[in-house]
Amino acid sequence: MEDKNKIFWTTDEKEKIKIEQSKIVMYLEEKGFAKVKLSDEQYMLVRLKNNRIRKTAIEEMADIIKHYLLDVLGNDAVYEVFAKGVTTYLNKGKFSLLKTVDLVEDRDERDLARFFFKNVFCEITKNGIKVKPYSELEFPIWENRILDFEFKMPKNKTKGQFEAFCLYLAKEDELRLEAMRSFLGYLLHRNKDRGEDKAVILYDENMGLKGQANGRTGKTLLSQAISKCKQVEIFDGKEIKIGSWFKNQRIDLTTDLIVYDDLNKNVSFEKFFPMISTGIEVEKKHKASFYIPKEKSPKLLISSNYVVTGPGGNSDMGRRYEYEIANYFTADYTPKDKFGVMFFDSYWPNEEWSKFYLFMMQSVQLYLKKGLVKAEDINLRKSRLTSSTHPEFFEYANDYVQTNTWQNKRDFENLFKEAYSVDVTAHKMYKWLENYSNNIGGNFETKSQNSEYLFKIEKGNDGARVD
């Protein structure tokens, strides 16, 4: 029952009511209202209750006071005074008097992750998953971390529909499924202390072949699956405009993952480097910006129907983890056609929800144990080279480049021109050969000898780069 002795007004001998503004601030603090510092110029109003914290606004404060005056005390007279001067009693100046609390740090630990459900929370380590009651939770959490589901361990051990779906995306190959589970686990683990600062990039296995941009294979459903477990902001990658898209207005302190779905082919991966390696500047409309440092910033997932281009080199490739999705599903054959249900809708059985969450937590467990597992490329090398050279160049180079052997560059170039009727400059051919060498993990060298211009792509016997 609510305490009826919280008085933040006075009544004089003429029964005139006066709201005491310092006491109304104290009353709000007792109700859990406070502010969190985001930057030197910006604070956020929050409410902490039952070890859970969330963003709040003036409307909730007004509702709390209205409820107390009318429903608890039945004091219409005081409420009338409050209602007439509400903008005086509740305003930005008054909010600055609220106590400042530390920003809640409920991100995962380096070797431990947590899923929060309505009834329990789960702790995941490389050794297993423990289901715990909230009485054992020793720190406050953001309220929006709590998933709207009462989790119970599945009654039977048969594979769930979502896991079966993932196996199809992995070409029904257990090794590729392990790699998929590792990147799902990486994206679900809300921690950046493991030294794997990478964006996950998803492609279709037939991307770019025969000049087509394939889609509808299940990439988007994977990002939706993660959004059922963590705080995810999904952006339409086709709508990104170079030079104006780092406003990040929808990103918040509790955002765990940013998704750029179907990325515009003209956007360079280099534009994401600061987001991956340093942190994120967030600009809210009509508010001062604030900065989320790298260790607290969201991870990044990109899906694309084209090879995501970048500057190349170690700084580029070291920031990306790429995975090709099998073209098992299409626009004409969807997961609903296969399984007879829509994943994640209100009709999906609770047992499937439980199996789904268990699969996702087991994916985190796998990641904590093995890190990011790399899958073998299917067509990615060919697609990457084709996008940066000519559609026929990959096959031509595969046939005519002799590794570890000096070759005449002019002869190589002229033969390509004759075979494919392509007008290519000497400089462009140099860049194509350099790209091909990088693509197969070789060292590209050139030299002039007896008026001839020669090139060599050197590779070790194991196919590794020779330094």
- The verdict on 266 and 399 lying in the same domain is no
Same domain, 311 and 407: no
Residue at 142 is within a domain: no
Q: Residue 363 domain-assigned? A: no
Assigned domain for 364 exists: no
| CATH code, domain carrying 422 | 1.10.10
Q: Which of 95, 123, 142 lies at the terminal end of a domain, its last residue?
A: 95
Residue 74 confidence (pLDDT): 94
The confidence band for 133, taking pLDDT boundaries of 50, 70 and 90, is very high
Q: What is the pLDDT of residues 70-83, one digit of tens each?
A: 999 999 999 999 99
- Please check whether residue 329 lies inside any domain of the structure: yes
Give the residue, 131 or 466, on which the prediction is more confident. Answer: 131
Written as six digits, the tokens of 59 are 């409307």
* Residue 218 burial by Cβ neighbours in a 10 Å radius (0-12, 13-18, 19+): buried
Q: Is residue 146 part of a domain?
A: no
Query: 317 and 441 share a domain?
Result: no
Nearest-angstrom CA–CA distance, 318 and 444: 20
pLDDT at 281: 84
Residue 254's identity, in one-letter code, is T
Residues 328 and 404 in one domain: no
- pLDDT for 466 equals 36
Whichever domain contains 259, its CATH number is 3.40.50
Sign of the Cα pseudo-torsion (81, 86, 87, 92, in order): positive
Higher confidence at residue 142 or residue 288?
Answer: 142
CB 302 within 8 A of CB 308: yes
- C-alpha torsion angle, residues 141, 147, 152, 154 (rounded to 10): -130
DSSP-derived 3-state class of residue 35:
strand
Would you place residue 3 in the very low, low, confident or very high pLDDT band (cuts 50, 70, 90)? confident
User: Cβ distance 303 to 219 under 8 Å?
Assistant: yes
- 399 & 325 share domain: no
Handedness of CA 345, 346, 351, 357 (dihedral sign): positive
Number of domains, the chain: 3
| Cα 17 to Cα 81: distance, rounded to the nearest angstrom | 7
Query: Does one domain contain both 306 and 194?
Result: yes
Give yes or no for a contact between 47 and 33, defined as CB atoms under 8 angstroms apart.
yes
Note the pLDDT of residue 1.
61
pLDDT at 388: 79
Same domain, 195 and 288: yes
Q: Indicate the residue among 71, 95, 119 that finishes a domain.
A: 95
SS3 state of residue 458 = strand
Q: Where is the domain boundary, 95, 120, 155?
A: 95
Pair (321, 397) in one structural domain: no
Query: pLDDT tens digit string along 195-254?
Result: 899 999 999 998 865 545 555 778 999 999 999 999 999 998 888 765 554 457 788 888
What number is the average pLDDT over the span 396-421? Answer: 94
Q: Are residues 397 and 268 in the same domain?
A: no
Q: Please report whether residue 128 resides in a domain.
A: no
- Provide mean pLDDT across the span 91-105: 89
- Tell me: pLDDT of 6 over 60: yes
Round the average pLDDT of the chain to a whole number and report it.
90
Q: Do 299 and 256 touch, CB atoms closer than 8 A?
A: yes
C-alpha separations of 456 from 252, 445, 448 in Å: 51, 5, 12
d(C-alpha 424, C-alpha 392), whole Å: 13
Lowest-confidence segment of 120-134, 151-165, 447-461 by average pLDDT: 447-461
**Domain identity same for 197 and 326:** yes
Specify if 256 maps to a domain.
Answer: yes
CB 161 within 8 A of CB 341: yes
Residue at 156 is within a domain: no
Q: How far apart are CA 78 and CA 80, in angstroms?
A: 5
Asked if 320 and 403 sit in the same domain, the reply is no
CA dihedral 467, 384, 389, 459 (to 10 degrees): 20
Q: Sheet with 128-132: list strands edge to edge.
A: 128-132, 121-125, 113-117, 146-147
Tokens 């998803």 sit on residue: 202
pLDDT in tens, 369-378: 999 999 999 8
* Whole-structure pTM value: 0.84
Contact by Cβ (8 Å): 409, 455 = yes
Q: Which domain holds residue 411?
A: 389-458
**191 and 292 share a domain?**
yes
